[in-house]
């Protein structure tokens, strides 16, 4: 494919804007349609980014013949059904993490995606952050092997707010969203599937209806282990911090930045063409479309993560 890829983006909130900022740096791609719930706010974002078509209904954008691909930055509970709608409309699709919050729905997405021959990708951004790519390159070169990953995913989110501090209509989830990043990354970096997983959670929030604190243990087939602590009760610092403890070094990754165990900064600026993990994720999506291949973090390749999350949910129940 040599022509410009025309994209519809659903979700003009915090993550949708991150994608729009990343796409600005990618040649041969144009966002032509923007979908979100609040028409006035959607028009405001569309005007800022020069997007001509605005709607509150994904079906309107899927009906546009010029749309080649869709990026979904919508509420978790809509991800699987909207991904299926995009595939059935003949559109390539990238859905933000998580692929689903019900395993059977994720399995259906994988089945339809394989039958369609379209590019179907899930936004497991940690695979693309330069910090984690640096570690992955060391592993592939035989210079580093993970013994343990110690991961903290901490937010202060006792009310229903998005990453911009704006009220939202849906509830985030420590297991199906935030743990998905680490469960997938651990298996991906180890090059070995998760064979054992345990979880415990704290009290259920009386209003939000979800656990605000959770602890997860993982073991890969190759013997590596992972300890993951998650909280919506942590009053700073916020984000996810990954400590890789290996046979030759210790690395600490904070989003796109990386230091060693002594907190000495490691230059990852040459790892990829950008220091922005979201942009790199989008670049992979569009490259896969142009090259007629499945991308890194295809829906099929990340499904094992959701099988683990499903098993953990059964434990917690």
Write the pLDDT tens digit of every residue in 128-141: 999 999 999 999 99
The count of other CB atoms within 10 Å of the CB of residue 138 is 18
Q: CA-CA distance, 146 to 154, in Å (whole number)?
A: 23
pTM of the model as a whole = 0.94
pLDDT for 170 beyond 60: no
DSSP state of 295: P
pLDDT at 26: 98
| Side-chain-facing half-sphere of 120: CA atoms under 13 Å | 30
Q: Report, in this order, helix, strand and coil percent for the chain, each rounded to 5.
A: 35, 25, 35
Span of 96-100, 139-143, 149-153, 203-207 with lowest mean pLDDT: 203-207
270-315 pLDDT, tens digit each: 999 999 999 999 999 999 999 999 999 999 999 999 999 999 999 9
Q: CA-CA distance, 175 to 164, in Å (whole number)?
A: 21
75-126 pLDDT, tens digit each: 999 999 999 999 999 999 999 999 999 999 999 999 999 999 999 999 999 9
Q: What is the CA radius of gyration of the chain?
A: 19
| Side-chain-facing half-sphere of 287: CA atoms under 13 Å | 11
The count of other CB atoms within 10 Å of the CB of residue 115 is 9
| Measured distance between the N- and C-terminal CA atoms of the chain, rounded to whole angstroms | 47
Which residue is it, tokens 């749309």?
Answer: 67
Q: CA-CA distance, 43 to 65, in Å (whole number)?
A: 21
One DSSP character per residue, 206-230 reads TTT-SBSEEEEEEEETTS-EEEEEE
Cα 155 from chain centroid?
17
């Amino acid at each position: 494919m040599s022509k410009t890829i025309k994209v519809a983006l659903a979700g003009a909130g915090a993550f949708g804007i991150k994608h729009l900022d990343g796409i600005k740096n990618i040649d041969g791609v144009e966002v032509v349609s923007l979908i979100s719930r609040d028409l006035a706010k959607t028009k405001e974002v569309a005007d800022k980014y020069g997007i001509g078509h605005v709607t509150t209904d994904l079906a309107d954008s899927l009906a546009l013949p010029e749309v080649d691909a869709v990026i979904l930055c919508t509420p978790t509970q809509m991800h699987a059904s909207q991904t299926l709608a995009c595939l059935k409309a003949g559109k390539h699709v990238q859905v933000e993490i998580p692929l689903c919050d019900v395993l059977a729905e994720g399995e259906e997405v994988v089945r339809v995606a394989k039958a369609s021959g379209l590019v179907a990708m899930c936004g497991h951004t940690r695979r693309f952050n330069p910090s984690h790519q640096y570690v992955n390159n060391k592993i592939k070169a035989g210079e580093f092997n993970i013994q343990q990953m110690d991961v903290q995913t901490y937010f202060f989110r006792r009310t229903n707010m998005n990453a911009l501090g704006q009220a939202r209509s849906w509830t985030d989830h420590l297991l199906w969203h935030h743990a998905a990043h680490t469960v997938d990354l651990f298996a991906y970096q180890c090059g070995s599937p998760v064979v054992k997983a345990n979880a415990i959670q704290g009290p259920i929030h009386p209003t939000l209806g979800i656990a605000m604190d959770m602890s997860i243990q993982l073991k890969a087939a190759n013997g590596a282990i992972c300890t993951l602590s998650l909280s919506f009760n942590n009053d700073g610092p916020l984000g996810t911090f990954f400590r890789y403890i290996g046979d030759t070094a210790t690395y600490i990754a904070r989003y796109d930045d990386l230091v060693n165990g002594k907190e000495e900064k490691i230059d990852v600026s040459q790892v990829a063409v950008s220091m922005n993990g979201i942009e790199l994720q989008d670049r992979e999506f569009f490259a896969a479309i142009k090259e007629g291949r499945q991308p890194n973090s295809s829906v099929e390749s990340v499904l094992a993560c959701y099988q683990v999350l499903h098993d953990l949910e059964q434990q917690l129940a």
